[in-house]
Amino acid sequence: MGNRAEEDYNFVFKVVLIGESGVGKTNLLSRFTRNEFSHDSRTTIGVEFSTRTVMLGTAAVKAQIWDTAGLERYRAITSAYYRGAVGALLVFDLTKHQTYAVVERWLKELYDHAEATIVVMLVGNKSDLQQAREVPTEEARMFAENNGLLFLETSALDSTNVELAFETVLKEIFTKVSKQRQNSSRTNAITLGSAQAGQELGPGQKRACCISL
Amino acid sequence: MVVQAKKRELKEAQRRRRQLEERCRLEESIGNAVLTWNNEILPNWETMWCSRKVRDLWWQGIPPSVRGKVWSLAIGNELNITHELFDICLARAKERWRSFSTGGSEAENEDAGFSAADREASLELIKLDISRTFPNLCIFQQGGPYHDMLHSILGAYTCYRPDVGYVQGMSFIAAVLILNLDSADAFIAFSNLLNKPCQMAFFRVDHGLMLTYFAAFEVFFEENLPKLFAHFKKNNLTPDIYLIDWIFTLYSKSLPLDLACRIWDVFCRDGEGFLFRTALGILKLFEDILTKMDFIHIAQFLTRLPDDLPSEEVFASIATIQMQSRNRKWAQVLTALQKDSRDTEKGSPSLRH
């Protein structure tokens, strides 16, 4: 999987980052899209955006990532941002059990507002802080398995698994999309996604498919 | 080569001289403005604050040395908060911090409806957010000179208004006030500022009312920038995407601090309508490039504005924005929309025009 020129892509996948405040969503995103980490990043209010285009086989996939604020009170607003998402990283801080304890609530919120077929990965972040760990890997892995989620532990600080986490989610979406395309090629009815995620492209750009699963 | 180098040197010297002159001029005009504010305006606040002359001077930016005083006067103290009340709220907040850190009982939680867990979460969140408030200034972080003060004001507020509690975005507002006022006065300004209708709607996350604010904003958006408005519509770019951050933090997170303070100056003078006028000023300033962007690029751009925005250009752009729509001002448009949404809630069809 490699990088491609930002504007040359075949697919746009909308992916949301969700989870409690302070678990490191913004840093996971900046690590993935800019290879940056900030010890003193600012509180996210509302939603922030980043993109990165990656190659999956011969297809260029542009990940359009929505980094949402974790505050409970904001949820009324931010949950609207799940619409049209085909992937989600549900992040908790493995050094703070409380952020893991509420994962189920986040999941419900996500399924309430997003498509049922959305690809979800449970991400235990801050794996560099092993001595402060409060959530055992096996416990989180079991939960993920029982709920049909992908699972990884990451460290935005030392980069461990960050690429892998995003890439795994994008690949999984891509596989689903490819299957759907095969099935629908017979009926010639590819579903083009909502306008929000699949914007009009300028001249010279490839026609991008924004597929809803 | 030598000649060229000399030429360059000369040019550089000229540039530096011009810069210095510019700075001297600026400092002189600030110095003069300070005198005017201190000797003429502040002693005669009630009669002078809405005069043409003061309004003009105000628009140019309040000198930092009198800024806090002017903000306090302009925000007012409708809530009649005294320094003593601040001390009481702060003492209660400290009591609570102690009881949580020693694992105190729930029996003492007299405010119904708010569990100990909620409060604890809110205290945790304040702690977390303080370190994420203007991190590059390095004064609010643990060990920094204003860390405790920011903590105190936010903590005191959660005791003063347990029904509102701590909401992200507040730390930025309190921090800007702390930079300009002493703690008790900062608390008074903070509480009164948050009590204004627009801020209450947002910090209570009253979704319906927030949508009404966005709708009112769109009325003026379409009026002032029809082309860009159509482009945003076509790309499904709704105002909440960028306005939430701007309004919650009163621009202090998204604009350079000195520019944000100037926005606050006029916000204190003109009220909430100016926050939305500022948004339109920013959109207008970048209209040309925004019309060439697609959804994700616009969203990215507006949620992370260039960090070298020149104040003068922004203000020149804001000045061209008309807050009049079919002879109706901001407040009238907002009231009409509020009435509409109330009518819709009741189920009676309202006549829209």
**What are B294-306's pLDDT values in tens digits?**
999 999 999 999 9
Q: Say yes or no to pLDDT of A208 above 50.
A: no
Residue B241: list chain A partners with CB under 8 A.
Answer: 46-47
> How far is it, in rounded angstroms, from Cα A100 to Cα A169?
20
Instruction: State residue B22's pLDDT score.
Output: 85
Q: What percent of chain A has pLDDT over 90?
A: 68
Residue B57 in 3-state DSSP?
helix
The chain A residue lying nearest B118, using CA atoms, is A72
Contact B249, B172 (CB under 8 A): yes
Distance CA B336, CA B304 (A): 33
B241 to A46: CB separation less than 8 angstroms, yes or no:
yes
For position A213, what pLDDT does the model report?
60
Q: Which of A41, A45, A206, A207 to mutate to test the interface with B (most CBs of B within 10 A)?
A: A45
Name the B residues in 236-275 with CB < 8 Å from any A CB. 236, 240-241, 244-245, 248-249, 253
pLDDT at A164 (0 to 100): 97
Is the pLDDT reported for residue B224 higher than 60?
A: yes
Out of A49, A194, A195, the one facing B299 most closely (by C-beta) is: A49
| Closest-approach residue (CA) in chain B for A98 | B121
pLDDT score of B116 more than 50: yes
Per-residue model confidence (pLDDT) at position A197: 42
Q: What's the pLDDT at A39?
A: 85
Q: Does domain A9-181 have CATH number 3.40.50.300?
A: yes
What is the token pair recorded at A99? 């952020």
Q: A60 falls in which pLDDT band (50, 70, 90)?
A: very high
> Between chain A and chain B, how many beta carbons pairs sit less than 8 Å apart?
89
The DSSP symbol for B44 reads G
Query: Would you state the pLDDT for residue B222?
Result: 97
**Which residues between 297 and 316 in chain B have a beta carbon less than 8 angstroms from any beta carbon of chain A?**
299-300, 303-304
Gap from A103 CA to chain B (nearest CA, Å) = 16
- Which residues in chain A have Cβ-Cβ distances shorter than 8 Å to B129? 21, 43
B30 band by pLDDT with thresholds 50, 70 and 90: confident
Pick from B141, B253, B295: CB nearest A199: B295
Predicted pLDDT at B25: 85
Where do the structural domains in chain A lie, given as residue ranges? 9-181
- CA dist list (Å): A1 to A12, A166, B316: 16, 12, 47
The alpha carbon of residue B293 is apart from the nearest alpha carbon of chain A, in Å, by 9
A150: its two tokens = 């992908």
Confidence of residue B347 (pLDDT cuts 50, 70, 90): low
Cross-chain residue pair B236–A195, CB shorter than 8 Å:
yes
Residues from chain A contacting residue B171 (CB–CB below 8 Å): 43
Per-residue confidence (pLDDT) for residue B115, from 0 to 100: 59
Mean pLDDT calculated for residue range A16-45: 93
What is the pLDDT confidence band of residue B253, given thresholds at 50, 70 and 90? very high
Give the global pTM: 0.86
Residue of higher predicted confidence among A1 and B66: B66
Which among B172, B235, B303 is the nearest to A49, CB-wise?
B303
Nearest-Cα distance to chain A for B26, in Å, is 32
Judged by average pLDDT, the poorest of A43-57, A189-203, B208-222, B286-300 is: A189-203
Of residues A8 and B193, which shows the higher confidence score? B193
If you search the block for the tokens 């532990």, which residue do you land on? Answer: A153
Say whether A125 sits in a helix, a strand or coil. Answer: strand
Q: Which residues in chain A are contacts of B211 at CB distance < 8 A?
A: none
- B5 against A211, higher pLDDT: B5
Residue in A22, A72, A199 nearest the CB of B294: A199
Which residues, other chains included, contact B144 with Cβ-Cβ below 8 Å and sequence gap of 6+? B138
pLDDT band at B26 (very low <50, low <70, confident <90, very high): confident
Looking from the CA of B174 toward its CB, the CA atoms found within 13 Å total: 28
List B225's β-bridge partners, or say none: none
Average pLDDT, chain A: 85
Check pLDDT > 60 for residue A75: yes
Comparing CB atoms, the residue among A43, A64, A197 nearest residue B168 is A43
- Nearest-Cα residue of chain B relative to residue A77: B207
Which residue in the set B171, B240, B303 is minimally distant from A48, CB to CB?
A: B303
Mapped onto helix, strand or coil, the DSSP state of residue A39 is coil
pLDDT surpasses 60 at A179: yes
> At which residue do the structure tokens 């996939």 appear?
A61
For chain B positions 130-189, those within 8 Å of chain A (CB to CB) are 131-136, 141, 167-169, 171-172
Q: Which residues of B touch A76 (CB under 8 A)?
A: 205, 207
